[in-house]
């Protein structure tokens, strides 16, 4: 079938998986991934599958070279994540991982905006559960913030789509031409791509995910957004500058991070910056570069998250201030991590070298000197933080006598396979280039490119080496744009929750007090009346002060003589008679 | 020790400058102001790395870095 919507396979698998015995669930996950891969190979560029829904023509599957490139890497990464997480016995994580991969593929192959929105929302919710599955207090809080941010993004997307539908009458997902509708859609795409200042959610939430969950998180949401930007906003100059700035922004914040997976999260922002920049430049070369970089990035970033996840799994720690001296105890993990680190740094023969340089080359072809320098600066920072600093403080530095627990073989196999792919792409780039949306006219292994890259890397290393002794990780957190909704939350809480509670509390206290008084008064009205007269006499005539409590009710004490009542009735009759006579 | 490092650094730089002059200069596809400075990327790498280290530290210490319990203080009502 050349037009089968792959998301269906994952959705079905997600329904079946929890019904299976616990022992075979992980294997079933992998079988589902392989089945999806078989269907993926049979997809043909140009095919589509549409149907009529209400009054609209929907296209749940549209295959072209751009969506195929992303489809391939998503299915592969879904499989590798499953291998790495083979030991996981938590059905929740497995189900939401399937939903997450499936909905990401759903977005990538969506031909219309309604299908896009549908899968976009599933993606947000399923990824949320990969964070909550860690079941810690911090994860719970970070998850709620993640949910709020993505609910906002989803609403912006829906508003944009409805407006777009009203203006153009078409639901087809193609290049947008400006106007309010497309800016709303751009806002939600940029939010998912974590373009500053919409980036706060990413380094807030990703380090809080489960060991395997964060491997999935690092791969999908941001790259789906890159795909959506490439489809809808290629060639937008704003994106080019945003991407270039974003690449450096991520690098600077990463350097300040203490938590290993937070450092990697900031490098997602930085690396996605290259892609957003490539999309913004918009030439065939640059869009190819963005796609290639997304492909390579998903693999090596997954590998890096696997590496730090393994450290977290084995030691229970992820902060550089609490790690160190693991070299002799976790050599294999270091080896795999360094493959990822060399890939992201763009060391020759590793995948980043053949993909990152395409984006930079795309900028060079358009004579964008400032962009070229910014992207190269980000490369320096990447090598500095991931290639040097993070492994130094985790595996070398001060030995903290950690006793890592044994790691399941699946985690090593997952890392090994991913590392092998990173090297394969680096050594034989045609593997990747044949999948790209446009024909590739680029050769990464030229003498001049090699010399330039080696200069950049070696002298970054030298500078690090010079100041290494003075560097130390700091047990601090860094404020980012999430401050704007985390800090004023206290004020919002005071205005919308505390003050309203106080108001109703005050009314409640007042009415209770009134009720209590009425009860006491109702139990002994005559006693209160006597009390009141005594009080009045005390104030007016300065008699002795009465006792504060009215005496409890006693019928004999306050019983009015019968004669008094007769007198009152007689007087009343006299008054009535007099009234009758006189008027 | 310090001197050895310095000698190594300078030696690497010289090698790259020679390579730049011999190989790269003749094959520039696109002209940029730095295209004809031999060893430009060595210098850029070295200074860029120091700029990121000290720039980030300055930014962090003067403005953005806080104690790890900075946000937890907000959750007192829980």
CB-CB under 8 Å, A447 with B41 = no
Region A455-472: mean pLDDT is: 89
A462 → closest Cβ in B9, B33, B65:
B9
Region B38-62: mean pLDDT is: 92
Q: Domain ranges in chain A?
A: 234-474, 489-582
Distance CA A212, CA A85 (A): 6
pLDDT in tens, A20-44: 999 999 999 999 999 999 999 999 9
Is the model's pLDDT at A557 over the cut of 80? no
A368: DSSP letter: -
Nearest Cα residue in chain A from B23 = A448
Region A140-149: mean pLDDT is: 94
pLDDT in tens, B13-47: 888 888 887 777 666 677 888 888 888 899 999 99
ipTM for this model: 0.92
B32 → closest Cβ in A369, A467, A487:
A369
Distance CA A350, CA A348 (A): 5
Is the model's pLDDT at B77 over the cut of 60? no
For A69, the enclosing helix (H) or strand (E) is helix A65-84
Q: What is the pLDDT of residue A36?
A: 96
- Partners of A365 on chain B (C-beta within 8 Å) are 29-30
Nearest Cα residue in chain A from B7 = A462
User: Average model confidence (pLDDT) for chain B?
Assistant: 82
Region A365-375: mean pLDDT is: 94
Q: Domain ranges in chain B?
A: 1-27+38-64
- Partners of B56 on chain A (C-beta within 8 Å) are 252-253, 255-256
Closest CA to A139 of A128, A153, A149: A128
Distance CA A70, CA A158 (A): 23
CB-CB under 8 Å, B68 with A475 = yes
Distance CA B24, CA A174 (A): 41
Strands annotated E in A235-359: none
Q: What is the pLDDT of residue A265?
A: 96
Region A198-218: mean pLDDT is: 95
Asked if A9 and A28 count as a contact pair (C-beta separation under 8 A), the reply is: no
A451 → closest Cβ in B24, B65, B66:
B24
Distance CA A145, CA A201 (A): 7
Distance CA A272, CA A256 (A): 19
Q: What is the pLDDT of residue A335?
A: 96
CA distances from A17 to A10, A74, A76, A88 (A): 10, 20, 19, 13
A489 → closest Cβ in B56, B65, B74:
B74
pLDDT exceeding 90 applies to what percent of chain A?
A: 79
Nearest Cα of chain B lies from the Cα of A364 at a distance, in angstroms, of: 7
pLDDT exceeding 90 applies to what percent of chain B?
A: 27
What end-to-end distance do the CA atoms of chain A give, in Å? 107
Distance CA B56, CA A34 (A): 44
For A201, the enclosing helix (H) or strand (E) is helix A201-205
CB-CB under 8 Å, A464 with B49 = yes
Asked if A296 and A343 count as a contact pair (C-beta separation under 8 A), the reply is: yes
Is the model's pLDDT at A565 over the cut of 60? yes
pLDDT in tens, A497-548: 899 999 999 999 999 999 998 988 888 777 778 778 888 888 888 877 766 6
Sign of CA dihedral A273, A276, A280, A286: positive
CB-CB under 8 Å, B27 with A475 = no
Q: Which residue has the higher pLDDT, B13 or A419?
A: A419
Kindly tell me the burial class for residue A254, based on how many C-beta atoms sit within 10 Å of its own C-beta (0-12, 13-18, 19 or more): buried
* CB contact A496 to B (< 8 Å): no
CA distances from A179 to A176, A183, A195, A237, A281 (A): 9, 6, 20, 16, 20
> Rounded to 10 degrees, what is the CA torsion of A324, A327, A332, A336?
60
Q: Which residue has the higher pLDDT, A553 or A339?
A: A339
* CB contact A458 to B (< 8 Å): yes
Q: What is the pLDDT of residue A552?
A: 66
* CB contact A123 to B (< 8 Å): no
Asked if A421 and A299 count as a contact pair (C-beta separation under 8 A), the reply is: yes
A23: DSSP letter: G
Q: What is the pLDDT of residue A55?
A: 82
A319: DSSP letter: B
Q: What is the pLDDT of residue B75?
A: 60
CB-CB under 8 Å, B74 with A459 = no
Region A357-375: mean pLDDT is: 94
CA distances from A277 to A237, B59, B60 (A): 9, 25, 26
Distance CA A311, CA A314 (A): 5
**R_g of chain A computed on alpha carbons:** 35
Closest CA to A357 of A384, A342, A337, A376: A376
Region A395-406: mean pLDDT is: 90
Nearest Cα residue in chain B from A382 = B49
Q: Hey, of B16, B35, B52, B77, which one would you mutate to test binding to chain A, going by the most A CBs within 10 A of its CB?
A: B52
Q: Which of residues 407-436 of A touch B (CB under 8 A)?
A: none
φ and ψ at residue B74, rounded to 5 degrees = -75, -15
φ and ψ at residue A440, rounded to 5 degrees = -95, 125
Q: What is the pLDDT of residue B9?
A: 80
Q: Which stretches of A316-443 are DSSP H helices?
A: 331-345, 351-365, 369-382, 390-395, 409-427, 430-433
Strands A48-53 and A56-62: antiparallel
Q: Hey, of B49, B57, B62, which one would you mutate to test binding to chain A, going by the most A CBs within 10 A of its CB?
A: B49
Distance CA A107, CA A121 (A): 10
Task: Give every CB contact of residue A123 below 8 A, 6+ residues apart in sequence.
Answer: A100, A103, A104, A106, A107, A220, A221, A224
* CB contact B58 to A (< 8 Å): no
User: Average model confidence (pLDDT) for chain A?
Assistant: 92
pLDDT in tens, A566-582: 999 999 999 999 998 88
């Amino acid at each position: 079938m050349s037009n089968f919507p792959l998301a269906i396979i994952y959705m079905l698998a997600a329904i079946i998986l929890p019904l299976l015995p616990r022992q075979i669930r992980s294997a079933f996950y992998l079988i589902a991934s392989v089945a999806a891969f078989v269907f993926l190979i049979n997809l043909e560029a140009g095919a589509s599958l549409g149907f009529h829904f209400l009054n609209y023509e929907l296209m749940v599957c549209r295959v072209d070279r751009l969506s195929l490139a992303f489809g391939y890497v998503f299915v592969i990464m879904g499989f590798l994540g499953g291998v790495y997480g083979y030991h996981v016995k938590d059905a929740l994580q497995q189900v939401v991982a399937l939903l997450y991969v499936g909905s990401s593929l759903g977005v990538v192959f969506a031909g219309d905006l309604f299908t896009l929105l549908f899968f976009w929302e599933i993606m947000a919710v399923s990824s949320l559960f990969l964070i909550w599955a860690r079941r810690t207090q911090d994860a719970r809080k970070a998850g709620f913030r993640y949910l709020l941010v993505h609910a906002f993004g989803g609403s912006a997307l829906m508003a944009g789509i409805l407006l777009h539908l009203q203006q153009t009458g078409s639901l087809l997902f193609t290049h947008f031409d400006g106007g309010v509708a497309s800016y709303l859609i751009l806002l939600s795409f940029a939010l998912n791509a974590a373009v500053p200042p919409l980036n706060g959610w990413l380094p807030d939430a990703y380090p809080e995910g489960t060991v395997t969950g964060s491997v999935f998180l690092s791969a999908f949401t941001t790259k789906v957004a890159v795909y959506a930007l490439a489809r809808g906003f290629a060639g937008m100059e704003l994106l080019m500058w945003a991407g270039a700035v974003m690449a450096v922004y991520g690098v600077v914040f990463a350097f300040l991070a203490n938590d290993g997976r937070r450092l990697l999260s900031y490098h997602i922002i930085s690396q996605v910056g290259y892609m957003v920049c490539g999309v913004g430049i918009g030439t065939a070369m640059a869009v190819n570069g963005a796609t290639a970089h997304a492909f390579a990035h998903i693999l090596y970033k997954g590998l890096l998250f696997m590496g730090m996840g393994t450290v977290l799994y084995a030691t229970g720690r992820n902060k550089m201030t609490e790690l160190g001296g693991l070299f002799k105890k976790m050599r294999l993990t270091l080896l795999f991590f360094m493959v990822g680190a060399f890939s992201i740094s763009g060391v020759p023969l590793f995948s980043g070298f053949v993909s990152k340089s395409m984006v930079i080359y795309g900028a060079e072809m358009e004579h964008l000197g400032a962009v070229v320098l910014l992207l190269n600066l980000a490369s320096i920072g990447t090598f500095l933080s991931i290639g040097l600093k993070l492994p130094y403080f985790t595996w070398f530095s001060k030995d903290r006598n950690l006793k890592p627990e044994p790691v399941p073989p699946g985690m090593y196999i997952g890392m090994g396979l991913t590392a092998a792919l990173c090297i394969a792409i680096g050594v034989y780039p045609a593997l990747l280039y044949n999948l790209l949306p446009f024909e590739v006219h680029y050769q990464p292994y030229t003498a001049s490119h090699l010399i330039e890259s080696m200069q950049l890397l070696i002298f970054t290393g030298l500078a690090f080496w010079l100041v290494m002794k003075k560097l130390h990780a700091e047990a601090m957190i860094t404020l980012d744009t999430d401050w704007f909704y985390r800090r004023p939350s206290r004020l919002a809480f005071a205005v919308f929750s505390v003050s309203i509670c106080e108001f109703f509390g005050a009314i409640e206290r007042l009415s209770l007090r009134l009720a209590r008084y009425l009860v006491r008064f109702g139990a002994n009205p005559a006693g209160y009346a006597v009390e009141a007269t005594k009080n009045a006499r005390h104030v007016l005539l300065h008699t002795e002060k009465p006792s504060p409590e009215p005496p409890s009710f006693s019928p004999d004490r306050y019983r009015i003589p019968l004669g008094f009542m007769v007198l009152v009735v007689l007087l009343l009759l006299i008054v009535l008679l007099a009234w009758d006579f006189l008027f | 020790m310090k001197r050895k490092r310095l000698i190594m650094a300078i030696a690497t730089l010289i090698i790259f400058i020679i390579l730049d002059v011999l190989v790269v200069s003749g094959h520039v596809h696109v002209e940029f102001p730095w295209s004809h400075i031999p060893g430009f990327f060595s210098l850029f790498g070295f200074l860029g790395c120091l700029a990121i280290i000290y720039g980030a530290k300055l930014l962090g210490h003067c403005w953005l870095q806080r104690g790890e319990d900075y946000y937890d203080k907000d959750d007192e009502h829980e």
